[in-house]
Structure formats: C-alpha cells, structure tokens
Structure 1
C-alpha cells in the first residue's frame, strides 16, 4: 500500500462503494420516507451480491499484492520464518483487507440463511471491519511524525465516523441521517486515500523544503528542518478542509437533485395512476348503464307495461 497505486486503487474502491450507498440511501428515503430502513449493502437486479463480490475481489487482490506480489521475494517472511521490519506495513494493510473479506463473505451467508439476527449481525461485521481499520491505522508502524503520519491521522477521522454511524445503524435502522453520514464518510475515505497516493508519491506535489527518501524499502517524504515540516503539515490540514467542504457540497447537492428528480417522478406516476383509475371507473359506470338499459329492453314485463301504457288513453276514451 506504500505507493501511489497502493493508495489510489483501494481509495477508488472505497469511493465507489460510498457513492453507491449514498445514491441508494437517498433514493430509498425519497421514494418511501415513512417506511425507510437503512441497509448495510445493496443488491443489484442482475447480480444480487455484486457489491459484496467486488469487496471480496478487491480484498483478495490487496492481500496478494501486499504479501506475495509486492515483496521482492514474493513472500513476506524472512528465511527463518519471521516478519522483517520492512514488511510490517504489508501485514497491517493485509489484515484490513482480510477483515473486509470476512464482512462480505458472511454478509452473503447471512442473506442466504436469513437468521433472525441477520440485520444486526451484518452491521456488527461492518463495525468490526471499520474498527480493525481504525486500530491498525492508529497504531500504524509507519512514521507518525512526518507528512505521511499527518495524512494518516486525518484519515482516522473519516474511519471513526464510518465506525460510529455503523454502530448507530444497529439500534437506529430508520435513521436516514446516520446512513447519509456513513455513506459520505466511506466515500471520503476513498477520496482521502487517493489524495494521499498522489500527494505523497508524485514528486511534483511534494511541499517546498521536503524530498522523497528511501527508508526500509519504502519511499518516505522527509523535510529539511522543523519549519518546512510544520508548513507541510499545515498544507495537509488545509487540503483536508478543502476536501471536506467539497465532499459536503457534492453530497448535499446530490441529495437535492435526487429529491427533485424522484419526487417529480413519483408525483407523475401517482397522477397518471389516478387518471387511469378514474377512467376505468367511468368506463365501468358506462358499462353498467348500458347493461341496465339493455336489461330493461330485454325484459318482457317491461315491454308489456310499455304496451299497456300506450293503449291506456284509448281505453279511457271508450
């Protein structure tokens, strides 16, 4: 994960999942706000478990890259079977991927078996995955004092939000705002991971007074002096604030757009349905009237009465 691709690829995955959740939560809430219930994952029409399959595939690729493809010897251990210092980060990142894989796999199993605690257990598995992610990034073996450490500290804010809102989903399944915040936090995790990849491993984006240095098999950004380091950290904080504002504007704008789109669609369908029902009722009334008229004409007693009424004046005159 300690590279541009190692951050951009998983970041893009988090971004897509978060955006997918955000769109579906908004859509479900707008269409049926009274019966809305938060879902931990969303099935698709053609492949029900597509979201979970993608999480499992991405996690598997991440584990393979961290433990077998990335290392020079294509395995993370020393000849004596111990974990070398320069591979500690690989194991930390792979443990996050393993937990996400477990979440997706058991979510499929729970959906197939449908036990009574399916909803709560699925959310609990998601909370465990975010908790594992928060723990490993908080206790990361990477340098916490440099620019990379500052990026990781700020990433933990988004992870903590995902964890907290996932736990809230267990007891408050009807809360749209909790689901909305969770979706934004997952999406923001992806955005911030991609930003980290580009800003830390693209030489043109390294702050003034800093440089890229190879340490323990990983490229790390170092700064020349305390002043350059503090300036670089302040720039990271400013970036974080910009992206928070940008993601917030995007999310709320998406909500307003989807509210307008789906409400108009629902209202149009309701009016059309009402008009069709009204037309059907009118057609039924006309059919009943025609049937009554036809019944009167076909009734011999009514014909006899009509004949009697026509001859009645003649009888009176006589």
Structure 2
C-alpha cells in the first residue's frame, strides 16, 4: 500500500506541474496555431560573398546579408517567439571548387557562431550559443543581419568559384526559451569567388653590393649574388617579370673614350617552372614564357634571383646603382 501511495503522490505532483504550465499557456508566444507558421520570405536560401576573396588579404573577409522572416498570424496575442540557426554535418565549414577548399563561418553580427552539427532536437537544439532569438508581432516581419566570415591567410586556395550547399537554415519556435518545433527548414547555399593574384614577401636581402666584383676598374662576371623570396603564394599559374636598367653613376658622368659610364648586368629569376633572364645591355624588361605551374595554386614557394655583372671596359670612378624589380602575377 505504501508503494502504491508513493506512486499516486508522484503522479499527482506531475499533474500539478502540468496544470501550472497549462494555466500559463496564454502568455506563451506560439507560432503554429491558426493562421500558418512563421516562415522565411526573403534571402533565406543563399548568399554570395562580395567582393571576391583575395588570398593575399591580411584580414578576414566579412560579408553581411539579411534574412527576412514573417509571422502570418494576425489575431491578437499571436506574437511569435522563434530562433534562427544553421546546421551542417561537419565543421569547420568549407566551400569547394573541385578539390580546392575555402574555410568560412556563419555568425551573428556580434561574432557568435550560428552553425551547429546536431540539427533540431525538441527542447535541446539549437543551443542559445548557436542561434539568434527573435520576437515577431502578429502579422509582422523581422529582418535579421547575418555574417559570413572567410578566414584570412588561405594562401593555398585556387582562384575560381566556390560553393557549399550542405548547410541547412531553420527557424524554430521557442517555448519557455527552448526550441520546441521546426517551423521552416531548407538548404542554404554559400557562394564565393577567389581572385587570381599573388603574394610576394620581401626578399632576404634587398641590397646587392658588387664592389668586390670590380677589380682594376673592370667588372668580374664570375662574381654572383643571390636574392631569395620565401613564402611566395599565387592563387593561379603565374609568370615572373624582371624590370631594370644598367647601373648608373651618381652624380652622372659624361662619356670618356675607352671607359664605361654604366655597368650592365645579367639577372636570372627562377619561380617554379617559370624563368626569366634580363640582360641590361639589351633590354629593360623581360617576362617568362611559361608559368610557375601548369594548374592550381602554390603556397610557401621560393623565388631566386641571381645577378652578375657583365664584362666591359674599365669603369669611370664613381658610385653606381640601379633598381631591379621582380613582379609575379597570373595576368602577365
């Protein structure tokens, strides 16, 4: 008898709690009664990140878009409490272009991550940390700002168009602050593009001193100096270009028979499969015939530039200098 009494007392207590909740129901904001569910009415299916992403950017790229949600119920007291969230089967989220990937995140304007992997679970998911809670008046609409963040430093990404169609966006009715029902869910597609471009860090040395290469006033072609660029990246196959003029004296000097008043040099640059050789005696600019790679992007690559003086007549005494410019770009 005691056991039966205990069960009955527990049952009565449970009924009492239900009665309290039911009694307070008129104060809750249900979204699914007569008049239809709250639903997306614009910008709820896709977004395209603009402008195009640059692999040389030093800051994250942030793209803001809006989602508009409507509450079709117009009767008095039909205010709707709901949450907006996104679901993806795995994280981090990535867009793809063939085998190439581009990492991104979906977040609130305050930076909270809105993508979770659990999907909808009544009174459990999405959690408050991964959603935006909203209240919509009867017959009203609300416009929500959401951000796409593409992380900087993705230098191995290839130029082209990227997409991710594995995300689901949903709005969920909130009852006592917990998601109770999925009101509207569908695929949400994220698109982006990557521009063709390169990142060329500073060389290990930017000054080549050829003073030791001058002996008895004559340049020594066997004296070779090298400048190296490390950590080079390009989002597409690229060519390399050298631009430069002969070394000239400061201040300038006039011509003297039997002497040179400029110093010519040969510069040879190597960037993957691309090479360029500039002979300042004949030209001021040269571009490689081929590209550094046949296809795809490169990251952490190296460029070497070897320079030596060309043989000539004795050089008029003075201080000589020139600027050699190295350029890499897919558009060359």
TM-score bucket (shorter structure): under 0.3
| Structure with more of its chain in strand, by fraction | 2
- With the length of structure 2 as denominator, give the TM-score of the two structures: 0.25
The higher relative CO (CA closer than 8 Å, separation ≥ 6) is in: 1
